[in-house]
Structure 1
């Protein structure tokens, strides 16, 4: 199963339209979520031919802004549950297991962002299933994930962190370039890049797809990089550092490798300590989640030999023994 989420910044753009078949051919997604389509349902029906997927759900744009669409292949069993200007929520039936996918889009306006965060909490409370939520949140988790421009409001970033933590959603990490959005300013002093797009999931979904891989793809005529989620990835996932995928105490947040240690320390002290005191000392699901995550972090998936070749699977034991 492969899923792509992409803020295409308008499907009326001829270059984007002609690039999407290339995305289909190169990545071959089973499910495709597109935001900022800037099209209504009638326009999307004409565009569907370019995508090559027979199934589609559309949330119309408003004027010349917004618009969402979810496409899926014939062999994928998808049931749409709800949609709004900020999301399309669905369930996926796969090999007797049902899980949830939400394509999300965060409001650009600071004064309107609270609507997106309230929606996520509402979706969280609707029903419990393994849950993948991905898209352009139009917000940072930490200030270190922005280069150029004015510093982001700490309060705004904290509201997103708290919302995802309250929904038991943790960042799945990524492979590739850190920043998923950049402006097109041609002068260095005006150039800005940020990590606005991300895939997050709850622990139940992580347990279904323990070897998931998220790739920040090539932007292809948009200022956003597409998120490519490979659910059934069977090769060891290699990160620039172990920190890229190290889920912290609550099994919700990966450590942001470039963030100041004190910033993370304060956040985790505030969030995790009361939860451990109230839940961690009992035989609860929370405790088992923490223990499982420690086990996952300590598990050795692969090593590299002196020549840089990856050693994995059954070859690990003799390699370690003979080293």
Structure 2
């Protein structure tokens, strides 16, 4: 399952990032906060992510908005939703047991967030023993979860820590880069924090003792996505060969195909065609690797450069990340054409 404060699904870069996360991690459930878009755009996201169902919370003015997507039609049922959380019940067929997933976006303003904590401290009695609270918490529990900016006093962490303790929740921890949000400034003004996390009840933790959380570097938003994996081993799929439409206009690709097709094959006509197609596929694959024509490789290189620039104490030089993002969008457009 993936949770991401996408800060608006309308951006082409964010849309590409969503599709890449879905392709790489095969989530059965996707929670997005700060969608900042209406129903029509979310329907396009649902289709692009190959999800079957969606629950939406409309934005207020030009901000906010939540969306929960999932595969299948019967495993998830809505219990309650409002402007800042979606509470659903999930039925796990393998365990023949239901549990609650609360998808939350806590307010960035301290006084509003304290009221939300107070509400939830009462609401938790409706959730039973097995439940998960995850999303953008907009707060941290200690000084180590912040890098850069003015130091926070020790007492400022008490409110969030008390909320976690009062709800009897356990932080699942994470692997990956320690911070999930940055303010996109530079130098001494650059700030990073771990605002997104997964909190679970002890009973749920016993049910899914192998569950793990990974921070996914994401370039389409100021936030990284968080991946909650309930499996002991991640799923993998074999990527089949596909002919890239760009090759039609490449003279070198035509020569590769002609040379492969001219291979002499003994046997029936159908067998000969089958082996020639195999030869073309292999030759094109090797040629693509030599020429580094795979947009996916370029995308990974650009993303790595962006991550390297952002994951520093001083932040990236002004304009550097935006230029790389423009190149990244161009490569993602090529990948979409493919």
Q: TM-score, normalised by structure 1?
A: 0.69
How many residues are aligned here? Answer: 232
Structure 1: runs of 5+ lacking an equivalent: 236-323
- Quote the Cα distance in structure 2 between the aligned partners of 1:86 and 1:125: 18
Matches within 5 A, 1:278-289: none
- Quote the Cα distance in structure 1 between the aligned partners of 2:2 and 2:29: 7
- Quote the Cα distance in structure 1 between the aligned partners of 2:126 and 2:58: 24
More strand by share: 1
Which residue in the other structure is 2:136 paired with? 136
- Quote the Cα distance in structure 2 between the aligned partners of 1:43 and 1:118: 33
CA shift at 1:28, angstroms? 0.7
Work out whether 1:56 is the aligned partner of 2:54: yes
More helix by share: 2
Segment drifting more, 226-235 vs 59-68:
226-235
CA shift at 1:155, angstroms? 4.0
Which residue in the other structure is 2:222 paired with? 223
> Is this contact kept in 1: 2:172–2:213, CA < 8 A?
yes
- Quote the Cα distance in structure 1 between the aligned partners of 2:26 and 2:68: 15
Matches within 5 A, 1:99-138: 99-138=99-138
- Quote the Cα distance in structure 1 between the aligned partners of 2:36 and 2:193: 23
Which residue in the other structure is 2:35 paired with? 37
Which residue in the other structure is 2:301 paired with? none
CA shift at 1:76, angstroms? 6.0
Which residue in the other structure is 1:73 paired with? 71
Q: TM-score, normalised by structure 2?
A: 0.66
Query: What are the superposed Cα offsets for residues 26-50 of structure 1, whole Å, 9 maximum, x if unpaired?
Result: 1110111000001233432233222
CA shift at 1:75, angstroms? 6.2
RMSD of aligned residue pairs (Cα, Å):
1.6
CA shift at 1:126, angstroms? 1.4
> Is this contact kept in 2: 1:30–1:76, CA < 8 A?
no
Matches within 5 A, 1:159-238: 159-185=159-185, 187-234=186-233
Distance change in 2, residues 1:36/1:205 (3 Å): same
Which residue in the other structure is 1:307 paired with? none
Which residue in the other structure is 1:90 paired with? 88
Distance change in 2, residues 1:174/1:193 (3 Å): same
- Quote the Cα distance in structure 1 between the aligned partners of 2:209 and 2:74: 21
Structure 2: runs of 5+ lacking an equivalent: 235-338
Query: What are the superposed Cα offsets for residues 127-171 of structure 1, whole Å, 9 maximum, x if unpaired?
Result: 313111111100011122111112235444211111111111110
Query: What are the superposed Cα offsets for residues 61-86 of structure 1, whole Å, 9 maximum, x if unpaired?
Result: 11111111111101660011111121
Query: What are the superposed Cα offsets for residues 78-124 of structure 1, whole Å, 9 maximum, x if unpaired?
Result: 01111112111111111211111111111011221112212321331
Segment drifting more, 93-102 vs 226-235:
226-235
Distance change in 2, residues 1:156/1:45 (3 Å): farther
- Quote the Cα distance in structure 1 between the aligned partners of 2:213 and 2:24: 16
Q: Secondary structure at the match of 1:123?
A: helix
